[in-house]
Structure 1
């Protein structure tokens, strides 16, 4: 009879013994620029393929769009349960290099920190799942199920060429999924708010600026009035469904007691957030603008759908007497979650506690990620990965090296628990 505890101890000890290799792997990934846009994942995908093949691991390549490569590699048995490790290779652009205190593509380790663009989101987590995958292979652990490593190119722009493309084409499937996205050290995310990005276009009538407001119809001033109505989405009182009330409760506890700087943001879990992201309109200061476009990012809590939000917008904007159109784009989903008692959640949460000797529990994410796609296909999923959250998508992105190592231990141990469970 297999002793799971002995196997877990074995893989955890191996990660510890080879931790310098893990750190070097993470550093190497950061050194490869994989900014999206433009989204060319060729170099980093080929590097990962070469690394995996050192351990006699077969890798399947799927080019879902020009220079966007998905990698899938599996070990274990076709019998039994199937666990997916998932991560993305793309990172957001580094931006103004003069605002960085170090080279964003240096992959430098300094004072216990891994430095560079993608260190937290999510090359530290990506290196962790790759490394845990190879540890199980090199130790020749005979898994009673299947473990698949799925690496995708197109997460940061909310595109369709990564996880959704693989799921739609039936290339991946499973009984559970771990995404190595950044999280708190002890609090993986088991649910997330919905997302509704839309463009509001307001139409006016041009005329000479010297005759405004008596002549023409100003699209920009009409858009300003429309924005005021859009911002009222925050004020909608939403009833949280009973099945997620406990998850909301523990998530607010987390914001109040763990990430204490987030306490002021607790209301976002139960409200529609509204960000007026861009505005563009007009041609010259002396011409009454006939067109104005506004891009809006709304995040939807449990208890309201995209359709209900759209209906609200049409009702309010229709009362203004303006000429407008709403066009959805980018991230779009309703709020979604995985039961914290699902086996894949328990495997990760229990092993966070086992590895760190610290209480762990799942919480809500107030943004969106690839997790929603897995849930669309009824694959239970959660996110857990190393991160220094304040630096994600910002300048001087970094993550503690020790956290990279801890997460890799959790990944390897959780795979054993999940695949060996009934």
Structure 2
């Protein structure tokens, strides 16, 4: 009888022996354009579907919006066992000005140990690792004491409305735990994330001739300046971090001091509301008193403050100014959320990072947001772990080290064994 440990070691060796095929798969994914916007996932979904069919899987297509295709496949026939979800997005952010790239954004080439192209780090290399693991388990006819579902979603980079939440809300994927192959550091998966509060603020004034300002009309831009000064005070709030998450916050700060050392100065973001005035538009021309001004603001919320708390703060401060304004919400909206480090889906990844690399591993907070929040809203424990060269994400010359792709794939296949066979 094959022991769990022997099976795990065998599968890790399979990844090692077939690493060239793994890298080729990731390369092929990068070569297929899948920018979002516009969000047409037809070509890349077709490629993934064909690849999986060659391994013998049965795949389901779900079109959540025009040309946005979610692909779902499940292996394992034991519905009484645990059910693990592998999740990744096939869309990437726009490539931007191609003249600023040192290579083609759809290169997919390997140069000096680096895989090059848009999506290399976010997250076609991670997605390729999930697909490769899933297909290998099927081709090797590994009898799983449970089920493994692969969900490839087309819409994460613009907010994800037609990807993960659409599948979950329509009960098209279910599970006891989930791994998302989003970019992370080598030894520190993200097991929690800050909340998001995006809003538009519009301030109204009265038009008039610019030569009579400030005695005539009412300048919406100067009122907006006052409003922005009040909004920025969100950063100054003293947040009471709940005791249950203080260890996670401290580990995350340690990570910023000792691992991503260039982030050491950013430790306060873990327990403060960040405020980015990201866009401003107002007025018509210099000799006209502006009658309106609008800003878009991105706030990220730590544990200890909710969406309603922020809304109440904003109205209190803006009402006190006596200005004419309106607030509307858009984009990401969530409270801070996490999965406990002791949850089996977390330990299966964290323990196997250590097993594969021999390096200390622990989970940390993410200071941004991702699809993980949707799984937690549906009571599915989740964490994120994927290959990445973090400085290149969403920038020019995106890339990832080949050795990181191989390492993550070994962790993925070992984690399936530990999670489902435990």
Verify same fold: TM over 0.5.
Answer: yes
CA distance, structure 1, for counterparts of residue 18 and residue 220 of structure 2: 62
Residues 1:84 and 2:85 are matched in the alignment? yes
CA distance, structure 2, for counterparts of residue 359 and residue 159 of structure 1: 33
| Residue equivalent to 1:317 | 318
CA distance, structure 1, for counterparts of residue 17 and residue 308 of structure 2: 53
| Residue equivalent to 1:69 | 69
| Residue equivalent to 1:241 | 242
* Contact 2:41–2:67, Cα closer than 8 Å, also in 1: yes
Taking structure 2 as the reference length, what is the TM-score of the superposition? 0.99
**Deviation of the 1:79 alpha carbon:** 2.5
| Residue equivalent to 2:17 | 17
Residues 1:220 and 2:221 are matched in the alignment? yes
**Deviation of the 1:287 alpha carbon:** 1.3
Residues 1:47 and 2:47 are matched in the alignment? yes
| Residue equivalent to 1:183 | 184
**Deviation of the 1:47 alpha carbon:** 0.7
Residues 1:97 and 2:111 are matched in the alignment? no
- Count of matched residue pairs: 421
CA RMSD, Structure 1 to Structure 2 (Å): 0.8
**Deviation of the 1:160 alpha carbon:** 1.1
Task: Show the 5 A alignment for 1:69-218.
Answer: 69-77=69-77, 78-218=79-219
DSSP-derived class of the 1:319 partner = helix
CA distance, structure 2, for counterparts of residue 230 and residue 101 of structure 1: 40
Deviation string 1:239-292 (CA, Å, 9 cap, x unpaired) is 100110000011111111111111100000000000010001111221111111
**Deviation of the 1:332 alpha carbon:** 0.5
DSSP-derived class of the 2:288 partner = coil
Task: Show the 5 A alignment for 1:259-270.
Answer: 259-270=260-271
DSSP-derived class of the 1:346 partner = helix
DSSP-derived class of the 1:348 partner = helix
* Contact 2:177–2:380, Cα closer than 8 Å, also in 1: yes
CA distance, structure 1, for counterparts of residue 217 and residue 30 of structure 2: 54
CA distance, structure 2, for counterparts of residue 74 and residue 388 of structure 1: 30
**Deviation of the 1:159 alpha carbon:** 3.1
* Contact 2:8–2:417, Cα closer than 8 Å, also in 1: yes
CA distance, structure 2, for counterparts of residue 272 and residue 293 of structure 1: 21
**Deviation of the 1:354 alpha carbon:** 0.7
CA distance, structure 2, for counterparts of residue 29 and residue 375 of structure 1: 28
DSSP-derived class of the 1:101 partner = coil
**Deviation of the 1:138 alpha carbon:** 1.1
| Residue equivalent to 1:390 | 391
* Contact 2:89–2:156, Cα closer than 8 Å, also in 1: yes
CA distance, structure 2, for counterparts of residue 134 and residue 7 of structure 1: 16
CA distance, structure 1, for counterparts of residue 339 and residue 143 of structure 2: 28
| Residue equivalent to 2:28 | 28
**Deviation of the 1:74 alpha carbon:** 0.5
* Contact 1:120–1:398, Cα closer than 8 Å, also in 2: yes
Task: Show the 5 A alignment for 1:379-418.
Answer: 379-418=380-419
* Contact 2:122–2:388, Cα closer than 8 Å, also in 1: yes
CA distance, structure 1, for counterparts of residue 44 and residue 129 of structure 2: 15
* Contact 1:69–1:152, Cα closer than 8 Å, also in 2: yes
* Contact 1:218–1:290, Cα closer than 8 Å, also in 2: yes
* Contact 1:122–1:181, Cα closer than 8 Å, also in 2: yes
Taking structure 1 as the reference length, what is the TM-score of the superposition? 0.99
CA distance, structure 2, for counterparts of residue 48 and residue 282 of structure 1: 49
* Contact 2:55–2:136, Cα closer than 8 Å, also in 1: no
4+ long deviations beyond 2 Å? none
| Residue equivalent to 2:5 | 5
**Deviation of the 1:2 alpha carbon:** 4.6
CA distance, structure 1, for counterparts of residue 205 and residue 2 of structure 2: 73
Q: Give the unaligned 5+ runs of structure 1.
A: none
CA distance, structure 1, for counterparts of residue 22 and residue 112 of structure 2: 17
| Residue equivalent to 1:284 | 285
CA distance, structure 2, for counterparts of residue 93 and residue 214 of structure 1: 46
CA distance, structure 1, for counterparts of residue 216 and residue 99 of structure 2: 47
| Residue equivalent to 1:343 | 344
DSSP-derived class of the 2:166 partner = helix
Deviation string 1:77-134 (CA, Å, 9 cap, x unpaired) is 2220000000001111111111111111111110000111110000010000000111
* Contact 2:121–2:387, Cα closer than 8 Å, also in 1: yes
